[in-house]
Amino acid sequence: MDIFQKCFEYDLDKQAIARGIYPYFQPLDNTEGTEVTVNGRRVLMIGSNNYLGLTTHPKVRQAAIKAIEQYGPSCTGSRFLNGTLKIHTELERRLAAFMGLDDAIVFSTGMQTNLGAISSLLGRNDIVYVDKDDHASIVDACRLGMGEMKRFVHGDLDQLDRMLEKAPAEAGKLVVVDGVFSMGGDIVDLPKLVAICKKHGARIYCDDAHSLGILGGGRGTAHHFNLVKDVDLTMGTFSKSFASLGGFVAGQKDVINYIRHTARSFIFSASLPAPNLMAAMAALDIMETEPEHVERLWENTHFMMKGYREMGFDIGPTQTPIIPVMIGDDMTCFGFWKELFEAGLYTNPVVSPAVPKGMALLRTSYMATHTREQLQRALDIFGSVGKKFGIIK
């Protein structure tokens, strides 16, 4: 059989294109954070992970400009060789302090952070337990590791408890969860998870990609629950609240040192360039000194949650600025997206297999920099299109 046969048979994109409702790879002419320009037309952005709106903050932009003038656009090598700048180690030191942990290591992307950190920890006799709604990078990282991966139903920590109970005594055990789940916007029940893991001697790795800048005054899930010393490793990205590119993992010094010397995606990748480092550093400065950004983000989040629910939309169990609007059928979701887009609203359609068949949704997310007028406009457009599609009455 031709290995390319699956490629020739794939047609979801072709179906959507034929109907004029294909939503992906929209080329942006420009972005001002809360608004973007597409084909010369301004569109309100409610589909970004720019939670604190710092991509447009002058301190962040100036930091990146200054860095490229001083260091250039690339480090041209791995951190192991010629690719470590003093600002790499400075950012790692500051991130560890920000998270209240011993040490941190910076990777070139968030995906590489999970791939390298998780896979390096998994030996042949180890078992890793993963929530079924964890990010794809976590699943891929577990596949790269030498251990066995077991998945539990999303949020079902009682099932996890039973699974850990059956683990061989000699097996190393790692539980990997998202702090905030990227599609549903719900928060992991960290207090219960900590109690279960302590009971069974399992370690905890928390992916805080969507938690940093949002929970715990911006410091993430463990700070939100006051369980900083009970979470063994915390991962974060720079491509969301930090308004840059890259990622990091923080934890005990010996563990971070081990990851630093064994994570293949760290050892064999070029290091993060200075403009990205300095942009992330400037964002960190802002998080530490300007708490009003987090406060405004939550004001906007509560306004939108209330608005959607009052109109009758199903937004699931979200607890964060990630607010999914449940649609159902894949093509209906694409059609709904198209109507919103034509009305001047940018959202993200999520269809199978990213979600189960029949559970397609529009993923919306909000920024501290959205104005109340912009948010009300988004609700008005959603209400009009929702009635047209029969999603609400």
pLDDT at 84 over 90: yes
Q: What is the number of alpha carbons within 13 Å of residue 350 lying toward its C-beta?
A: 16
Mean pLDDT is lowest, of 16-25, 122-131, 217-226, for 16-25
pLDDT band at residue 233 under the 50/70/90 scheme:
very high
Strands (E), the chain: 30-31, 35-38, 41-45, 103-107, 126-131, 148-152, 172-178, 203-207, 233-237, 247-251, 322-328, 345-346, 348-350, 360-365
Q: What average pLDDT does the segment 287-295 reach?
A: 97
pLDDT at 364 over 90: yes
Are 126 and 175 in contact by the 8 Å Cβ rule? The answer is no
Q: pLDDT per residue over 113-160, tens digit each?
A: 999 999 999 999 999 999 999 999 999 999 999 999 999 999 999 999
pLDDT band at residue 352 under the 50/70/90 scheme:
confident
Q: Give the closest residue to 269 by CA, choosing from 242, 291, 247.
A: 247
Are 320 and 328 in contact by the 8 Å Cβ rule? The answer is no
- pTM of the predicted model, to two decimals? 0.95
What's 58-289's CATH class? Answer: alpha beta
At residue 317, the pLDDT reads 95
Domain with CATH 3.40.640.10 in the chain: 58-289
Helical packing angle, 292-311 and 274-289, nearest 10°: 80
Q: pLDDT per residue over 156-203, tens digit each?
A: 999 999 999 999 999 999 999 999 999 999 999 999 999 999 999 999
Q: pLDDT per residue over 35-50, tens digit each?
A: 999 999 999 999 999 9
Domain with CATH 3.90.1150.10 in the chain: 5-55+291-389
**What is the spatial distance between Cα 22 and Cα 7, in angstroms, rounded to a whole number?**
18
pLDDT band at residue 355 under the 50/70/90 scheme:
confident
**What is the spatial distance between Cα 134 and Cα 207, in angstroms, rounded to a whole number?**
9
Q: Which residues are known to be catalytic?
A: 182, 210, 240
Are 109 and 244 in contact by the 8 Å Cβ rule? The answer is no
Q: What is the number of alpha carbons within 13 Å of residue 106 lying toward its C-beta?
A: 32
pLDDT at 235 over 90: yes
Which amino acid is it at 60?
V
For tokens 């180690």, name the residue. 89
At residue 32, the pLDDT reads 86
Fold designation for 5-55+291-389 = Aspartate Aminotransferase, domain 1 (3.90.1150)
Q: Tokens in use for 377? A: 């406009």
Q: What average pLDDT does the segment 280-290 reach?
A: 97
Q: What average pLDDT does the segment 339-353 reach?
A: 94
pLDDT band at residue 9 under the 50/70/90 scheme:
very high
What sections of 312-368 are H helices per DSSP? 330-342
**What is the spatial distance between Cα 41 and Cα 26, in angstroms, rounded to a whole number?**
12
At residue 391, the pLDDT reads 94
Q: What average pLDDT does the segment 222-247 reach?
A: 98
List CB contacts of 206: < 8 A, sequence separation 6 or more.
176, 177, 178, 179, 188, 190, 220, 221, 222, 231, 233, 234, 235
